[in-house]
Amino acid sequence: MWRKLLILPGALTYLLVLYWLFTLAFPFLLDGIARIQTAVNDAQGTSGLIFVESPEVYTRQRLVNDRYTQDAWLRGKLKEIDEEDSLFVDAVEAQQTTVKAKVTASTDPTAAPPAPDAPATDTGALPALPDIGPVPFQAKFELQSSARDKIRQLILENALDDRHDLSGNTVFGLKFDTAVLPGSHATLSPTVIVRMAANPLERLNKKPATLSHHFGRIFNPDKEAQLDPKDVEDIALLDKLDTHFDAWRHDVEQRLNEHKSEESESCMKARVSSNASFRASLCYAGQISLEGEQALTDLFAQRTALDEALYFVLRLPRRDISFGNDYLRMVREDASAMCAQAELDGTAPTVRDLITSRAGTTNTFALPDPWGRLFEMRVQARPDTSPRTCGMALDLRLDGLELPLMFVSEPLGAEEEGIILGSGWRPIACQTRDCLQAGRTVWAQLRNPDAEALAVVEQALDTATLTTLSSSMDEIAVASGTEGRLCFVEFPGPRQWFYIGSEAPDGLNSRCFKGDGMYFRMGSYMFLRRMSEVESYTYAAFPRGDVSGVVRETGKQTELSGGISGLPALSAALGLSTSERSRRTEALPSMINFASGEGRRDNDADLSEANKVFDFGWSIVKEGVKKPMVASQLVLVSVPAYLDELELELWKGFLDIDRVPFNRAEYNGRNLEDRIAALMPSFEKRTVRLKIPPDYSALDGVVVSTNLISGPRIKGIRLQRCFAVQPGGGLTISIPGERLWRSTVVTLDGIKANSIEVMPDMRGILANFNLPELGGTGDPGRVTRLLQVWTSEGTSRASVVIAHGGSVDACTVSDPLPGAR
């Protein structure tokens, strides 16, 4: 007995130890079970393959036309809301409950007891759904208002917003096709996430001002060659940007010459007339003869077309445009010099002799601001050999502005400053430490040394830029081991002093100063500064979210029965039944698109505004186990207009949104790839590079001035003279011009066009009307009408002739050319 008593405490101790060990191990056991369960679920939920094809690229013109079509459809849906047969009921439900109870009792000892499973139920038929009655006014009003608000929102979203090309951007559509082959137990959502590095300038290691010395070309190239190369990675990006700057410059130049050629039609005449002008005598008594004066005026008639091109393409005010007459004045100056020399030589030159002597001569002009801080214009004349000609063809060329700068490193007195000023150089306001403390001065040589041009240069050469340029000049002096010199010589004449270089010739009065100089590529530098400010962002993603239309009809019938049996002389039965039926029509989401701007987050660096990227993606969210499917997504992105390539980083996998951690601050602090890894148990990543066509015309506004460039303009010289109304009332008017496509409405004497289509090159639109026959005064078949193009930036108008009825064939080339304003 006592042995049993001794065993009992030991057993209890053993049980307590086991309990204690179990208590300690239980959490770990649960965690292990959870991990195993998660692994199993992940293996099932993430199994499958996701294929994303290389995206198709759609340009802005195709997107604008698509949106005009979508706008017409949405406005048609607005009208449907008020139609009588429009139904605003989303669900019809009916419920019927039938309760029947039957209790029987018998005390007859000889009666058979009722079966216990014999319920007192109905026939079991489900109730019929009621017909839809009229919707009460208040409910219908609220439903209509909600539907209208939704459509109005879509109409506003459908229109390209006013910022998409105001900052040097253009819009592209990227269409992705995604194929999903899920595993048999895949329940997580197949997801694709895309990050786009759109602006290559985001990779610059320095700010534009600290890179300004790369845009300088030292007066003495031998000194510059002694410098050690630096900023190698940045130089590669700057060289690429220079290529874009030259391409944009060439695009503007081409548009100028195209418009000049179109405007030249007004001065063209038979070549015989031009030949007579070439043979005219140039001089009389040492001066230009009247015959020569008239011949030069006739031969250089294209000068007015030159000014019109600058007015239309560069949007320069007419008061600032006189380049055509200025060029003719330069030709006359050369003619006067030739006549004076001919008087001494006893010769009689013709106008052709003057033209031959000027072959290859290019005259340079400074453009007004803001174009003047980027380009200077060169004009060269050549004989036009076409059957119909204006005489001399004037070819325009734009060159990137190179600004000569001098950095004088010694204090200057009034006399020394007068020498530099007398040579055409102007001082630049300098607030750098060298200028304020060491007496350094900075000078620029301007083609038009007026106060306005000087203010433009000073705005471009701010303190940060001048500091970098001054430091660069010091580095060159140290590397070369010699101090530079800037020498001026004196010649007789109104402008007595001239810059001659680093050495003064013997025998001439000269002055030299300590310092050095460079040719600063100001046009390219301004292009860099403006392009580094360009914003890139995801514009929109379509579809907003795919839905599946589902009709759900449910029915339920419940029966309850009971009975009492087995008791002598007593039996009972009880029955209860209920039935329900409902039907609901609803739209269930099947795919969700998302787009959000994000910045690259580096653990060792803060997020900077210049280092922005943006993300977009889509997730297939159908309920339950996923099935094989193919989905298409269209994403509109706004990127710098000069780009010729887009780089996309693409992640694809199965998204588990339940993995979002509770500590959102820590999660949001991670870089993008770490955040994706936290939500996708497994994913694949690849990089896609797309070639895209640059949209250089969109750069005009950001590089120059949005206010100067904005606004529609009908190109009257290309506008057709007469348009014919078809028998059914259809009328299509082609309207050439610039910036005619922005939220456009076209009217013809106040009658609005039914539809609008944008030309492939964005330089015109087609307006389609459905009109009854128009009447008017004079010839009833030909009426002059006012054509107006209204956009979000303004309006432009022109007069056109409309032919209809029996005069449809009356549109001839003899119709006068209407003017556009």
Highest mean pLDDT among 68-82, 274-288, 626-640, 774-788: 274-288
591 in Cβ contact with 177 (< 8 Å): no
Task: Provide the pLDDT for residue 115.
Answer: 54
Residue 611 pLDDT: 39
Where are any strands of DSSP class E within 600-674?
612-620, 629-640, 645-655
Query: For 288-297, 405-414, 431-440, which range has the lowest pLDDT when averaged over its residues?
Result: 431-440
H/E segment holding residue 474: helix 463-480
For 101-138, b where at least 16 C-beta lie within 10 A, e where not — what string? Answer: eeeeeeeeeeeebbebeebbbeeeeeeeeeeeeeeeee
Of the two residues 584 and 521, the one the predictor is more confident about is: 521
What is the pLDDT at residue 507?
79
pLDDT at 240: 87
Q: Which of 13-22, 298-307, 710-719, 780-789 has the highest mean pLDDT?
A: 298-307
- Whether the predicted pLDDT of 26 surpasses 70: no
CATH match for 49-75+166-199+535-547+590-710 among 2.60.40, 2.30.30, 1.10.1660, 3.30.70: 2.60.40
pLDDT for the residue numbered 720: 87
Q: How far apart are CA 366 and CA 368, in angstroms?
A: 7
Say if residues 186 and 41 touch (Cβ distance below 8 Å).
Answer: no
In the prediction, which pLDDT does 74 show? 80
The whole-number pLDDT of residue 607 equals 41
241-251 average pLDDT score: 92
Q: What pLDDT is recorded for position 777?
A: 46
Instruction: Round to whole Å and give the CA distance between 454 and 774.
Output: 57
Whole-number Å distance between alpha carbons of 254 and 275: 29
Indicate whether 125 pLDDT > 90. no
Q: What is the pTM of this model?
A: 0.73
Q: Which residues of 395-404 are buried (b: 16+ CB within 10 A; e: fewer)?
A: ebbbebbbbb
Lowest mean pLDDT among 51-65, 119-133, 341-355, 785-799: 119-133
User: Is residue 418 within 8 Å of 495, Cβ to Cβ?
Assistant: no
pLDDT score recorded for residue 593: 79
Map tokens 């439900």 to a residue. Answer: 93
- pLDDT reported for residue 540: 61
Burial class (CB in 10 A: 0-12, 13-18, 19+), 550: exposed
Whether 333 shows a pLDDT value over 90: the answer reads yes
What is the domain partition of the chain in residue ranges?
49-75+166-199+535-547+590-710, 208-230+402-530, 249-400, 711-810
Ranges of beta strands (E only) in 19-137 are 48-52, 56-58, 91-96
Buried residues in 219-235 as b, exposed as e (16+ CB within 10 A): bbeebbeeeeeebeebe
Better-scored residue on pLDDT, 100 or 703: 703
Please give the pLDDT value at position 604.
39
Residue 543 token pair: 């579809």
Q: Would you report the helix, strand and coil content of the chain in percent, each value rounded to 5?
A: 35, 35, 30
Asked if residue 817 has pLDDT above 60, the reply is: no
Q: Which residue has the higher pLDDT, 805 or 149?
A: 149
What crossing angle do the helices spanning 451-460 and 522-531 adopt, rounded to 10°?
A: 50
CATH value of 711-810 in 2.60.40.10, 3.40.50.1820, 3.30.70.270, 3.30.300.130: 2.60.40.10
Predicted confidence (pLDDT) at residue 42 exceeds the cutoff of 60 = no
Q: Which of 209-218, 683-692, 738-747, 801-810 has the lowest mean pLDDT?
A: 801-810
More confident residue, 126 or 457: 457
Topology match between the domains 49-75+166-199+535-547+590-710 and 711-810 = yes
> How far apart are the C-alpha atoms of 743 and 787, rounded to whole Å?
17
Higher-pLDDT residue of 704, 452: 452
Top pLDDT among 350 and 695 is at 350
- How high is the mean pLDDT of the chain? 77
Which DSSP symbol is given to 111?
A: S
Residue 357 pLDDT: 92
> Tens of pLDDT along 502-560?
888 887 888 999 999 999 999 999 998 888 877 666 656 655 555 444 445 555 555 55
Distance CA 665, CA 676 (A): 15
Bond before 370 cis per omega within 30 degrees: yes
pLDDT surpasses 70 at 309: yes
Amino acid 599: pLDDT: 44
Say which residue, 225 or 775, is predicted with more confidence: 225
Contact between residue 378 and residue 362 where contact means Cβ atoms under 8 Å apart: yes
Residue 163's pLDDT band (cuts 50, 70, 90): low
Contact 302, 381 (CB under 8 A): no
Q: With 50 as the cut, is the pLDDT of residue 694 above it?
A: yes
What residue has token string 């070819």?
395
Q: Compute the CA torsion angle 44, 46, 49, 51 (nearest 10 deg).
A: 160
Length of the chain: 821
Separation between Cα atoms, residue 23 and residue 330, nearest integer Å? 103
Looking at the chain, the whole-number percentage of residues with pLDDT higher than 70 is: 71
Tokens describing residue 323: 């380049």
* 152 vs 655, higher pLDDT: 655
